[in-house]
Amino acid sequence: MLDVDLADELAELVGQLRGQLLRHHAAGTWAAPGGATARPAVDPEHPTAQADLGTGSGFTGTASIAALDAPVEPIEDTGAVRTPLGRRSLPQVRAELGECTRCKLSGTRKSIVFGVGAEDAPLMFVGEAPGEQEDKRGEPFVGPAGELLDKMIIAMGWSRQSVYINNIICCRPPGNRNPQPDEVAACKPFLEARITAIAPRIIVALGRPAANTLLGTDAPISALRGKFHDRNGIKVMPTFHPAYLLREPDRKRDAWADLKLVMAELARLGIQAPGTPRA
């Protein structure tokens, strides 16, 4: 059985290291002193491939990141291959989750709702938990809240296929009650692993449970939204959950203001939306 805690801890270390590199990159100081030549993040589709940085990579210096040069190791229980610091591809993370029985929701769910979208999406959306429609179809945000989320994403110039959409927990709580702490705790290593695998530049946290889980706070969404929060080098923008916006349409203006900050930050990072965002 794979040690999920250790993998989680290692995944967090990778996140921190990546955050540092991103900050250096943003500051234009890619060259780090001495040591072995660094390699870029491993392609999730080809985790064992030795990537060649070449000269067009933007990484013109050398860096001492010995850990990234360690050999790859096979995972005992799945036979899959993973990289030294626990970074696994999305299919590997899904395989590891298996037919999960780590919490009591496994007794009532119809489907495990893992996530949908691009495996290298720069933009990730994290909601709370699957509802009835999602549980039936095995896909996040396909009910009424999902329709509104789709509109929000399209208005930003993106699509369900070009971003990544998931929830803090993968199974529907009975009657759509709030996720309980033990359920969030059981699923969190897999949320962490998805974040590490996809390595988004920005995460939009939809609603208080998602924002609180991602940021380790219990502050209300109204206190968190409207500004970026750093999470190991990844920017997190908390905003209102689309289900809340369906009940309180007057708050759509605030949510759109949050999403415009996300669009501006993506543009600042040089990441182009595949579609045409609404002005």
- Contact set with ligand URA (CB under 6 A): 127-131, 134, 140-141, 143, 145-146, 167, 243
Residue carrying the six token digits 């990844």: 234
Which residue of this chain has its Cβ atom nearest to ligand URA in the complex? 127
For ligand URA, the closer of residues 37 and 178 by Cβ is 178
DSSP 160: T
N-term to C-term CA, the chain: 50
Q: How far is the CB of 166 from ligand URA (least distance, A)?
A: 8
Q: Which residues contact 14 (CB under 8 A, 6 or more apart)?
A: 85, 86, 87, 196
Query: Residue 86 or residue 146: which is nearer to ligand URA going by CB?
Result: 146
The nearest distance, CB 239 to ligand URA, in angstroms, is 13
In 3D, which of 191, 251, 243, 209 has the Cα closest to residue 226? Answer: 251
Nearer to ligand URA, 136 or 229 (CB): 136
What is the enclosing helix (H) or strand (E) of 123? strand 123-127
Of the two residues 86 and 143, which places its CB atom closer to ligand URA in the complex?
A: 143
Minimum distance between the CB of residue 12 and ligand URA, rounded to whole angstroms? 24
Provide the CA 267 distance to its chain's centre, in angstroms: 19
Closest CB to ligand URA among residues 200, 209: 209
Least gap, CB of 203 to ligand URA (angstroms): 14
Long-range contacts of 71-80 (CB under 8 A, 24+ apart): 72/47, 72/48, 75/2, 76/2, 77/1, 77/2, 78/2
Minimal distance in Å, beta carbon 105 to ligand URA? Answer: 14
